[in-house]
Chains A and B, each alone.
Chain A
Amino acid sequence: MQNITRRDFLKVGAASTAVLAIECQFGPIASAAERFIEGGRSVNRTSGLPRSFLPSTCMQCPAGCGNISYIEESRVVKIGGNPTHLSNQGSLCARGQAGINALYDPDRLLKPMKRAKGIRGNNDWIEISWEEAYDEIAKTMAAARSNPRDFVFLTDDLAQDDLGRRFTYAFGSPNAIGSTGVYDANKLVGTQLTWGKAGDMPDLAHSKYILVFGANPLESNPQFVGLARRFIDGIQKNQAKVVAFDIRLTNTSTRANETHYVNPGTYALLALSMANVIMQEGLYDAAFIEQWTNVSAAQLAQHLAQYTPERAEAETGVTALVIRRIATEFAATKPGTTISDAMLSNYANGVQNERAVMLLNIITGNIDTRGGLCMPVQYDLAEPSPAPPAPAPSLLSNPPELPFAFQQSVETTMQMIKDRKHSVNVLMTHGVNPVYSNPDMGLTEDVLMDQTLIPYHIAVTPYMNETAALADIILPETTFLEDWDIEVRPSPELVPYVSLKQSVVPAMESARSFFEITTQLAGMIMGGMEQYFAYKSVQGYLKARISDISGLNQAGGLDYLMQHGVWYDPKTRPNYGSFTAGGFATPSGKLEVYSQPLADRNFSALPTYEPIASFRELGNNEMVLSIFDTAIQTDAKTGNCMWLNEIQHDNPVWINPATAARLGIKDGDIVKLTRSHKSGEAKERSITSTAYLTEGIHEEVVAMANGNGRAESGSVAEGEPLTADEITEIEPRALQDPNMKLIWWKEKGTGIGINAKQIVPVSPDPIGGGQAWGDVVVTVAKA
Chain B
Amino acid sequence: MAEENKRYAMVIDIRRCIACHACTVACKAEMATPLEVNATWMKIVEKGAFPDVRRFWLPRLCNNCTDAICARNCPTKATYKRDDGIVMVDQHRCIGCKYCIASCPYDVRYINPLKNIVQKCYFCSHRVDAGLLPACVETCPTRAMVFGDTNDSKSEISQILASNATVVLKKEMQTDPQVFYISADEAAMSSIEERINYYTEPAFIKLRI
Contacts and interface: CB of A to CB of B under 8 A. Distances in A.
So, do A and B actually touch in the complex, CB under 8 Å? yes
A43 B29 contact: no
B192 interface: no
Interface string B179-208: 000000000000000000111011100100
A10 to B, nearest CB: 8
B29 A631 contact: no
A328 B46 CA distance: 31
A50 to B, nearest CB: 7
B127 to A, nearest CB: 6
Contact of A48 (B35, B130, B138, B142): B130
B132 A228 contact: no
B138 A80 contact: yes
A48 B176 CA distance: 29
Interface in B136-163: 138-144, 148-149, 152, 154-156, 159
B45 to A, nearest CB: 11
B141 A225 contact: yes
- Give chain A's interface residue range (CB within 8 Å of chain B): 35 or more
B90 interface: no
Interface in B108-140: 113-114, 126-127, 129-133, 135, 138-140
B39 to A, nearest CB: 13
B24 A647 contact: yes
Interface stretch (B13-21, B62-70, B165-173): B13-21
B82 to A, nearest CB: 14
Given A31-B143, A81-B139, A644-B25, A631 B197 contact: no
Interface string A20-32: 0000000000010
A504 B52 CA distance: 48
A750 B31 CA distance: 26
A48 B25 contact: no
B51 A750 contact: no
B156 A2 contact: yes
B53 A249 contact: yes
A699 B51 CA distance: 10
Given A41-B130, A41-B132, A261 B50 contact: yes
Interface stretch (A111-119, A420-428, A738-746): A738-746
B36 interface: yes
A8 interface: yes
A260 B30 CA distance: 40
Contacts of A656: 50
Interface in A693-742: 693-697, 699, 738-739, 742
Contacts of B34: 738-739, 742
A71 interface: no
A5 B155 contact: yes
Given A35-B138, A228-B141, A642-B35, A695 B19 contact: no
B209 interface: no
A251 B126 CA distance: 33
Contact of B31 (A45, A79, A249): A45
A219 B20 contact: yes
A69 to B, nearest CB: 11
Nearest to B30: A78
B43 interface: no
B131 A8 contact: yes
A11 B126 contact: no
Contacts of B19: 218, 251, 631
Nearest to B53: A695
A259 B203 contact: no
Nearest to A225: B141
A82 B18 CA distance: 21
Contact of B139 (A11, A97, A738): A97
A695 B35 contact: no
Given A35-B138, A749-B202, A42 B132 contact: yes
B183 to A, nearest CB: 11
Nearest to B113: A742
Interface string A663-687: 0000110000000000000000000
A251 B56 CA distance: 9
A78 B135 CA distance: 10
Interface in A725-781: 738-739, 742-745, 748-750
Contacts of B203: 744-745, 748-750
Contacts of B159: 2
Given A92-B139, A668-B198, A749-B202, A251 B29 contact: no
Contacts of B144: 232
Contacts of B141: 88, 91-93, 224-225, 228-229
B93 interface: no
Most chain A CB inside 10 Å of its own CB: which residue of B26, B48, B127: B26
A632 B131 contact: no
B127 A692 contact: no
Given A232-B18, A646-B35, A91 B198 contact: no
Given A43-B130, A48-B126, A92-B139, A261 B18 contact: no
A37 B132 contact: yes
Given A93-B22, A249-B46, A40 B202 contact: no
A9 interface: yes
A90 interface: yes
A652 interface: yes
A123 interface: no
A743 B149 CA distance: 38
A643 B50 contact: no
Contacts of B22: 91-94, 96-97
Given A45-B32, A80-B139, A97-B22, 17 more contacts: A2-B156, A2-B159, A5-B155, A6-B155, A41-B130, A43-B130, A79-B29, A92-B26, A94-B25, A229-B142, A251-B18, A631-B18, A631-B19, A668-B197, A695-B49, A739-B34, A750-B203
Interface of A: 2, 5-6, 8-9, 11, 31, 35, 37, 40-46, 48, 50, 78-81, 88, 90-98, 100, 218-219, 224-225, 228-229, 232, 235-236, 249, 251, 254-255, 259-261, 631-632, 642-644, 646-647, 652, 656-658, 667-668, 690-697, 699, 738-739, 742-745, 748-750
7 contacts: A35-B133, A88-B141, A94-B22, A219-B18, A251-B20, A643-B28, A750-B202
Leading 6 A-B pairs by shortest Cβ distance: A742-B35, A748-B203, A97-B25, A218-B18, A695-B53, A94-B25
